[in-house]
Structures are given as C-alpha cells and as structure tokens.
Structure 1
Amino acid sequence: MHAVIVSNGFPPKTELLQQEAQHSDLLIGADGGGNRILEKGLRPHIVIGDMDSFEKPENPGFEVIYEPDQETNDLEKALRLALDKGVETCHVLGAFGLRMDHSLKNLSVLKQFHDRFETLLYRDETFDAFMVQQQFSMKCEVGNIVSLFPLSGAVHGITTTGLRYKLSGEKLENGQRDGTSNETTDPEFSIQIESGDLIVFVERG
C-alpha cells in the first residue's frame, strides 16, 4: 500500500501533487497540508493534526482526525496513521520550507520513521531525500546532483561509486565536512557506509 502525505511546508506544484495522488492508495493531509491539497482541487482521504492550521470545510466529505498531542508534530501523526493503515511505501510532499525549525524537525522525523517503511522519501519538484544507513544504489541520469548530508554527528566509512567526487572509506561530519553538490558520472551510483545517519538528496530527471 502506498501513501502520499502533504505537509505544511512549501506547497507542491499542482502537477506534482496530481501525479503523486494519482499513484497513491491513501492521500493524507498533515494539518495545514490538507489546505494545500484542497487548494489544488483535490480531496484528501484524511487530514490529521492538532488543527492549528487546517481550515476545515463545512462539509468536508473526508475524515478529519484531531490529535492534540504536542509531543509530536503533524507529520509524525500522519506517518503513524499511515503505518496503522498498513502503508508500506510513503512519499512526503511539503516537508521543507516556510519555517527553518520545522524543516530541521522533519529531518529528525525522517530518521525516526525511515526504517518502519519499505520506502520513505521526501519529494519536491527537484529532489528526493531519504536516509541511507548501510548501502544503497540507484539508476540515475548522468549529471544529476547528488548531495550527501550527515544528519547527526559523523557518518563513518563512506564509499561511493558513480559520483564525480568519490569517497573511499571516508567520514562526513556536521560542521567539518559534508558532501553537497556532487553529481553522477554513470547511469547508476552506489553508497555504502559503516555507521551513522546519512541523508541523500538526489535530483530527479
């Protein structure tokens, strides 16, 4: 089962949201993300959150779940709901932007939930973002941007293939060295790490 969650960051463009919704079994608005869905002329299956942002229609025609818990943010609530519904793969739109602290929080949420889904990624018009903790490979057009970002402290033993700036058993660490703006040189690239939490941003196209 595949779900799309729309969070309340930079709103996805209509084309992206329509494409994602078309291929989803479940469309969830994370509080104000429900507004973004309705603004694009679509209807979510569920909107969940503490309802500090969602402008609920008079007769919504979909489920609205009020979750006042302030120990979790609205994206966490939506992801837990998706798991309860049996979702295996999940794309999140609108995870970044508008507020810097919310963007950073949502990276923490990605770490919290990534291993509970077969696939969990954050998507915008240009990039996909996801976590790698052991090894990963994917096909990609030559010349696409790939950025490697250590999420929490240091990531050790990083080895890459198919990228212009290769790493061979090396370390990336917050405040010391990161791997932004690398690019693919082959139709497939791979990343292997020994330890740590690595966020990978891949340009689509």
Structure 2
Amino acid sequence: MKVLIISNGEIRDYEFYKSLLEEVDMVICADGGANHAYRMKIKPFLIIGDFDSVDKEILEFYQKQGVMVEKFPTMKDETDTQLALKRAIELGANEITFIGVIGDRFDHSYANLSLLLYSLKRGVKSRIINEKNEIYLIDDQIELEGEKGDLLSLLPYSGEVEGIYTKGLFYPLSGETMVMENPYGISNVFIEEKASVKIKKGLLLVIKPKD
C-alpha cells in the first residue's frame, strides 16, 4: 500500500503535488498537515498529532466528514510526523512519500531525514519530496528515472559509505568510498534516462535536486 504523509512544513506550489495523489492509496496528515490537505482539497484517511498547529475549524470540518482523528499529548517523545509514519506502517504501508517535511527550520528538516532511516530499517520504501528535491536513503541500491542533464547528488548519511557503484551518470563511481567530511558526490549528472546507485556498506542519501 502506498501512503502519502502530509506534514506542516513548507508547501508553496500545491499544483506540483497533484500527480502524487494519483499514485497513493491513503493520505495521512500529521497535525498541521491537515491545513495543507484542506487547501489541496484532499480528504485524508487519518489526522494524527497533538493538534497544536492544525486550524481548529479545518479539524472540525474533517471530523464531520468522518475522517479518523488521533490526538496525542503535547509532551511526547515523537514528533507528529513520526506518529504518522508509525501508524502508516501499522496500517500496512510498504511505500511512503513525505511532503511538507522540509522548510525554513533546518533542525526540523534535518531531523526528518530520520523518517527515511526508520522506514528503511523496517523494509518500507520511502522518499521526501518538495518542489526542489526528491530525497531517498539507501543501504543497498536504487534506480531512478530522469532526463539527460538532471542532477543527482550522493551524500553519506553514515560516517563512511563503502563500495559505491553508479551507472548512467557523468561522473562514474566504481567501488569508491565516501566520507562525510568530503562531500564530493554533489551534482552528478544524468547521461541516460535511468541512473542506478549501488553501495556495499553504509547509508547513502540519494538526492535529485532542481535548481
């Protein structure tokens, strides 16, 4: 089951995300993510969180429509998006897309990378998308589609990533190692319509950015 999780981070162009709705089976809103869903005219399956950021009128609107609501106390260990992720997996998600998890707060944006790690450790494919980035975390391999000239950046998420192999990229890698203090994997370039990345050991962020 494919799940879209909408959080309360920055979403500027609602039209950009419409195609995602055609790909998913369920939408879950993390607290104020329901505000975005309302503006996108989406009826979520579930709204979950401590409800410190969702518009009360929007929450009541969705409750009247029969949308499931799960409220948690403000004093909790998990973020609202973490709660949404856990519930998505419990409901049977095997692919998850996160939107609204990147914004002006770098601490929140960086922390939300842990969502990808949590998913990865449980065998669930996941990605973070906004208007300028498509972000994945791998511990084995991935294949991505693109157009010639598209960018692809490879950045270590663990201290060291060993045995990196790529295909379809201008700067090929054949068994190289990357370390966090030397991010030479920025802005590689698609030379084919598909690019693949494979690693032997570690955790690697695979980011498809748009300028």
Normalised TM-score (structure 2): 0.88
Superposition pairs for residues 71-90 of structure 1, below 5 Å?
71-90=77-96
2:109 is matched with which residue? 103
Q: 1:99-131: per-residue Cα shift (whole Å, max 9, x none)?
A: 110111101221121243542111122432111
1:159 is matched with which residue? 165
Q: Does 1:131 align with 2:137?
A: yes
Structure 1: give runs of 5+ residues left out of the alignment.
none
Distance 2:12 2:2 in 1: 18
The 3 A distance-change label for structure 1 pair 179 and 18 is same
Distance 1:189 1:129 in 2: 15
1:140 to 139, 146, 156: 146
The 3 A distance-change label for structure 1 pair 129 and 44 is same
Distance 1:89 1:112 in 2: 13
Distance 1:12 1:113 in 2: 26
Q: Give how far 1:178 is off.
A: 3.8
Q: CA contact under 8 A between 1:51 and 1:66: conserved in structure 2?
A: yes
Q: Give how far 1:47 is off.
A: 0.9
Q: CA contact under 8 A between 2:94 and 2:124: conserved in structure 1?
A: yes
Distance 1:5 1:12 in 2: 16
Q: CA contact under 8 A between 2:164 and 2:199: conserved in structure 1?
A: yes
Q: CA contact under 8 A between 2:155 and 2:183: conserved in structure 1?
A: no
Q: Give how far 1:139 is off.
A: 3.2
Q: Percent identity?
A: 33
Q: Give how far 1:66 is off.
A: 0.9
Q: Secondary structure, in 3 states, of the residue corresponding to 2:51?
A: coil
Q: CA contact under 8 A between 1:38 and 1:44: conserved in structure 2?
A: no
Amino acid corresponding to residue 70 of structure 2 in structure 1: I
Q: CA contact under 8 A between 1:2 and 1:25: conserved in structure 2?
A: yes
Distance 2:117 2:184 in 1: 18
Distance 1:200 1:95 in 2: 17
2:71 is matched with which residue? 66
Distance 2:61 2:152 in 1: 44
Q: Secondary structure, in 3 states, of the residue corresponding to 2:186?
A: strand
Normalised TM-score (structure 1): 0.90
Q: How many residues align?
A: 204
Q: 1:48-74: per-residue Cα shift (whole Å, max 9, x none)?
A: 112221123234222221123621111
2:18 is matched with which residue? 18
Q: CA contact under 8 A between 2:165 and 2:174: conserved in structure 1?
A: yes
Distance 2:95 2:12 in 1: 19
Distance 1:142 1:96 in 2: 26
Amino acid corresponding to residue 155 of structure 1 in structure 2: V
How large is the RMSD of aligned CA atoms in angstroms? 1.9
Distance 2:56 2:19 in 1: 24
Q: 1:24-53: per-residue Cα shift (whole Å, max 9, x none)?
A: 221111111111111223222211112221
The 3 A distance-change label for structure 1 pair 139 and 19 is closer
Q: Does 1:180 align with 2:175?
A: no
Q: Secondary structure, in 3 states, of the residue corresponding to 1:200?
A: strand
